[in-house]
Chain A
């Protein structure tokens, strides 16, 4: 089961994601409120997976993806976004994010994408 870093400026969303992923057996090893904190926590905790909100104060999700991927190219990052932010999600994917989830966050959807992202990583040559 995966160790997950949850990045979102809203505590409600962080709590929701934590609840969903822990129900399916994963562990949330750290949470972050913005991109800078996300990068810092990534360095410290080296999670298997990151869920990353697209828009956050200080440093947004796109910048955070770029910064993390630059240092840890194999980082596995799932973007969390509203359906109206397709362009930002595209930019995040081009910057190295592996998947995305459009809100609202529903258990099945979140679990499905997380499984996909984890399988994807296992398929990649080391």
Chain B
């Protein structure tokens, strides 16, 4: 519009100062004609401020001015007189509004004027000056403020709705009446399966549990009633942290928020999260963990498991009938059966047979109920109850799982389980897929020990070998066994190393032992002795191989080192005994002058050392002249 350019700048905090104001003043002793001319010269001037000696005394509006002058003879009567002769005609009670009044507040004041004067211009005071504002301008500005406001409101409602519709959490609020406010997130509808405004929150969250519903209402109201923040915070943790709604597990968080309403009261906001999936996953994982725990326990103590299974089968096939006959009509029958069921439950839970244990637990609960119920014929209802229990299929559920992993015949042979290695590896792989936990660590360890073989097995051919070699070389040795504890290891890891030990045993016979004659001269027993022992410590395996022959000859070793130019004579003097002995593991070191089928090339011990280093083992040689030589290998435990 032609004169409303100020509208562009109107906002919700605009005041009268921001509007087009007219500052048109006339002294009261001016002629009415002057006012008449002024009004005619500018058709928008809404009125004229009257002053006396520059001081405000009143206002004459365009409307009122022409109303008076349009009376008969008025023009002639007034035009040539001063304005104050007309003054009494202009006066009406018009409040003066300060220029920093908000537009909407000004409208409120203006509209309270009486109906006769309601369209008179508004007098606006700015310090000592007075200005006029057309009422229609004020109303237009007011409608602009209104539209700015409602647009803004619509926009923020859109923002809020966007947030509420797209958050994955159920957000809702309520006050002391515990009735849900109309604005809540879309997820609430998903959680509860219905629109929830005006619904009673305790009833929604705990539809079937009256006690819980009552408690929830009581504590919520109690919290809203508390005066201090500290008290509220004391009570908040007592609110239930989860609920079960529409077969969903819902996690609940609480926030106290201020209402922002006129009473400044507080509301409670709920943040609901559907955690069913997480819960299901957790359950599934623990179920799987249970299955493998069951498998491992059954494998490791199969004998006890089969014993338990046999007892159980006897119980449901014959035992129940026998008891029924023995206790006919006796009320202690229910106790006897409960006791037996309880024992089976305990036995099977040692093997983690989850299904059987759960079913037996339910049965036990049922038996207790039955016992507590006053009934005239307890024996009959007990008979019905126990005979209807399907003991066989409960156990079969668990057996089915066991057979899936261990093969259909695993229950057939009593003391052993024949299990192909790849089946065992599969079980191990599946356990490895479980999330990390103490159970997983335990299961893997038990499986490993199961898979591990006695270390002794790796060396079992050597005693025979030594005996035969010695015979051939005419250096008889006493038969010996490998002295060993039950050290178990992952066989493959040590295989290569143990194969190289043939050199150590061979050296013992070839280089270590004296001939029988020599031994007799030295006052030793005619037949030589070779020993081998395995001992496990906390962190390592100690393997000792010894003979009771010559012992290492330091001088001979030194000579060989010199001859092969491995060390100079000076360097040799700095070597201690251990370092010197270590030299016999050097590549191509040999003190023998002639190569035979059995020894002398100098590669044997180097190969031992090489394989030993591959598995991070260490070796120490203890040797005393004429007492013998001992190789002490320290090996890490690999299971």
Contacts and interface: CB of A to CB of B under 8 A. Distances in A.
A87 interface: yes
Interface stretch (A11-19, A67-75, A88-96): A88-96
Contact of B215 (A90, A93, A99): A90
Given A90-B215, A90-B219, A99 B234 contact: yes
- How many A residues are at the interface, by size bracket? under 10
A100 to B, nearest CB: 8
Contacts, number: 19
B238 A86 contact: yes
A9 B219 CA distance: 28
Interface string A97-109: 0010010000000
Interface string A32-51: 00000000000000000000
B240 interface: yes
B234 A90 contact: no
Nearest to B216: A87
Interface string B21-44: 000000000000000000000000
Say whether chain A's binding surface is mostly helix, strand, loop, or mixed.
helix
B625 interface: no
Interface in B209-228: 215, 218-219, 222
B234 A93 contact: yes
Contacts of A89: 238
B222 A87 contact: no
A106 B240 CA distance: 23
A99 B239 CA distance: 15
B159 interface: no
Contacts of A90: 215, 218-219, 222, 235, 238
Contacts of A102: 237
B222 A94 contact: yes
Contacts of B234: 93, 99
Contacts of B240: 86
Contacts of A86: 237-240
B80 to A, nearest CB: 84
A87 B215 contact: yes
Interface in B233-272: 234-235, 237-240
A120 to B, nearest CB: 8
A77 to B, nearest CB: 13
Contacts of A93: 234-235, 238
Q: Which 4 A-B pairs have the closest CB atoms?
A: A86-B238, A90-B238, A87-B215, A90-B219
Interface of B: 215, 218-219, 222, 234-235, 237-240
Interface of A: 86-87, 89-90, 93-94, 99, 102
19 contacts: A86-B237, A86-B238, A86-B239, A86-B240, A87-B215, A87-B238, A89-B238, A90-B215, A90-B218, A90-B219, A90-B222, A90-B235, A90-B238, A93-B234, A93-B235, A93-B238, A94-B222, A99-B234, A102-B237
Given A86-B237, A90-B218, 15 more contacts: A86-B238, A86-B239, A86-B240, A87-B215, A87-B238, A90-B215, A90-B219, A90-B222, A90-B235, A93-B234, A93-B235, A93-B238, A94-B222, A99-B234, A102-B237
